[in-house]
C-alpha cells in the first residue's frame, strides 16, 4: 500500500562534453538526493550529454543505447542500492534508424517499472529534435511504484494540457517533467522573463486543472552542444534552471535558481491532494460527453 506522504528529489545539473563524466556526476547527485530523504528522484532531460539537438549530425546517433542497456543497468543498480524510485531521461536506440527520447522509471528494487517515450517532438532553432527522435508510441502512462502512482512526460510535452490530463486520469498523483529548456542569448533581454513565466505558468496550471503535484527538473549552464570536443556552430543556449515542485493548487513548494546546480526536495502529501480535489472538483465536473472534437486538428 502506498504511503500517504513521500519526498521527491529533483536533480538540477549542468552537462560537460564527456558523457561518462555526466553519468557519474548524475549518480552522485542521485545519492545526495536520497541522503536528503528523497524517495523518488528525477534527473533532467538527456542528462548524459550536452544538449546535442542544437545541430543535425547523424554521427550523434551513436550516443543512443538500447533499454535495457549499459546505462540503464547502472541506474537500476543505484535505485536498488538506495531503495528509491528513479526517473532517468535517456536517448533510446530501439532499432537501427529508430530512436526515442525516453524516460525510464526504475523502482526501488531496481526493476524497470516502465518507459515513457516523448510524444511531442519540437523542431525549432537549436531544438532540432525531429531529426533525432521518433515520436512516442506508448501513449501517456502512469506507473505504480514503491512510492505511489506517478506519471512522467518530457520537456516539450509540458506545454500540452492533453498529456497532463490523460496521465492524471490514469491515477498519477505526481507528474514529472524532465526538461532541457533555455534562452537563445539574443532573445533573453527582450523575451527571457516572459518565456520563463509562460513555462512556469503552464505547468502550474496542469497541477491546478488536474489536482496533482507537478515536479519539473531542468538543466543549467551555457551549452553549444559540445560532445567529445565537437560542438555546434551558433550562439548556443543558456539553460534557465528554475526546477520546481508545486502542489495540486499550483502553490510552489520548492524552486531552484536559474544558474546553479541544486538538489531540490519537497514533500508530496496525498491528504492535501484529496482535500484540494474535494473543494475544487474539476475532474468531477468534466463534460466528457462534449469533448469528442478535441481529437480534431482544428474545428473549421
DSSP one-letter string for 66-110: -SSSHHHHHHHHHHHHHT-EEEEEEEEEEETTEEEEEEEEE-TTS
**155 is known as an active-site residue:** yes
CB 251 within 8 A of CB 268: no
pLDDT value at position 194? 98
d(CA 49, CA 60): 11
pLDDT value at position 74? 98
CA 26 to chain centre: 15
**65 is known as an active-site residue:** no
pLDDT value at position 3? 75
The angle formed by the CA atoms of residues 281, 282 and 285, to the nearest 5 degrees, is 90
Which listed residue (42, 53, 92, 118) is catalytic? 118
Q: Which residues contact 90 (CB under 8 A, 6 or more apart)?
A: 46, 48, 65, 67, 71, 72, 102, 103, 104
Which DSSP category does 2 fall into? -
pLDDT value at position 233? 61
pLDDT in tens, 68-98: 999 999 999 999 999 999 999 999 999 999 9
**Regions of the chain where pLDDT drops below 70:** 1-2, 229, 231-234
Q: Which residues contact 159 (CB under 8 A, 6 or more apart)?
A: 120, 202
pLDDT value at position 231? 64
Which listed residue (155, 223, 238, 246) is catalytic? 155
CB 174 within 8 A of CB 40: yes
What is the gyration radius of the CA atoms in the chain, in angstroms? Answer: 18
Cβ count within 10 A of residue 109: 12
pLDDT value at position 235? 80
CB 213 within 8 A of CB 172: no
CA 211 to chain centre: 19
* Of 199, 41, 177, 50, the residue nearest 116 (C-alpha): 177
Please state which architecture CATH assigns to domain 5-291.
4-Layer Sandwich (3.60)
Amino acid at each position: 500500500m502506498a504511503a500517504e506522504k513521500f519526498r521527491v528529489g529533483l536533480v538540477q545539473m549542468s552537462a560537460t562534453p564527456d558523457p561518462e563524466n555526466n553519468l557519474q556526476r548524475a549518480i552522485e547527485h542521485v545519492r545526495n538526493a536520497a541522503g536528503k530523504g528523497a524517495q523518488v528522484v528525477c534527473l533532467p532531460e538527456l542528462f548524459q550529454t550536452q544538449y546535442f539537438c542544437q545541430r543535425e549530425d547523424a554521427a550523434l546517433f551513436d550516443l543512443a543505447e538500447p533499454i535495457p542497456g549499459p546505462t540503464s543497468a547502472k541506474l537500476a543498480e543505484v535505485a536498488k542500492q538506495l531503495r528509491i524510485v528513479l526517473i532517468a531521461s535517456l536517448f533510446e536506440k530501439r532499432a537501427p534508424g529508430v530512436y526515442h527520447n525516453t524516460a525510464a522509471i526504475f523502482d526501488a528494487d531496481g526493476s524497470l517499472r516502465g518507459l515513457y517515450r516523448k510524444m511531442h517532438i519540437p523542431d525549432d532553432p537549436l531544438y532540432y529534435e525531429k531529426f533525432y527522435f521518433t515520436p512516442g508510441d506508448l501513449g501517456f502512462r502512469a506507473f505504480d511504484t514503491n512510492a505511489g502512482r506517478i506519471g512522467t512526460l518530457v520537456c516539450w510535452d509540458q506545454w500540452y494540457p492533453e498529456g497532463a490530463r490523460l496521465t492524471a486520469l490514469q491515477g498519477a498523483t505526481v507528474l514529472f517533467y524532465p526538461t532541457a529548456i533555455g534562452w537563445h542569448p539574443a532573445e533573453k533581454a527582450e523575451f527571457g522573463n516572459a518565456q520563463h513565466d509562460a513555462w512556469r505558468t503552464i505547468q502550474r496550471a496542469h497541477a491546478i486543472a488536474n489536482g496533482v503535484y507537478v515536479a519539473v527538473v531542468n538543466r543549467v549552464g551555457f551549452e553549444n552542444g559540445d560532445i567529445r570536443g565537437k560542438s555546434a556552430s551558433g550562439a548556443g543556449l543558456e539553460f534557465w534552471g528554475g526546477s520546481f515542485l508545486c502542489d495540486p493548487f499550483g502553490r510552489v513548494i520548492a524552486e531552484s535558481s536559474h544558474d546553479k546546480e541544486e538538489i531540490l526536495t519537497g514533500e508530496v502529501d496525498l491528504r492535501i491532494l484529496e482535500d484540494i480535489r474535494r473543494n475544487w472538483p474539476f475532474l468531477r465536473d468534466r463534460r466528457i460527453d462534449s469533448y469528442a472534437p478535441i481529437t480534431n486538428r482544428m474545428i473549421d
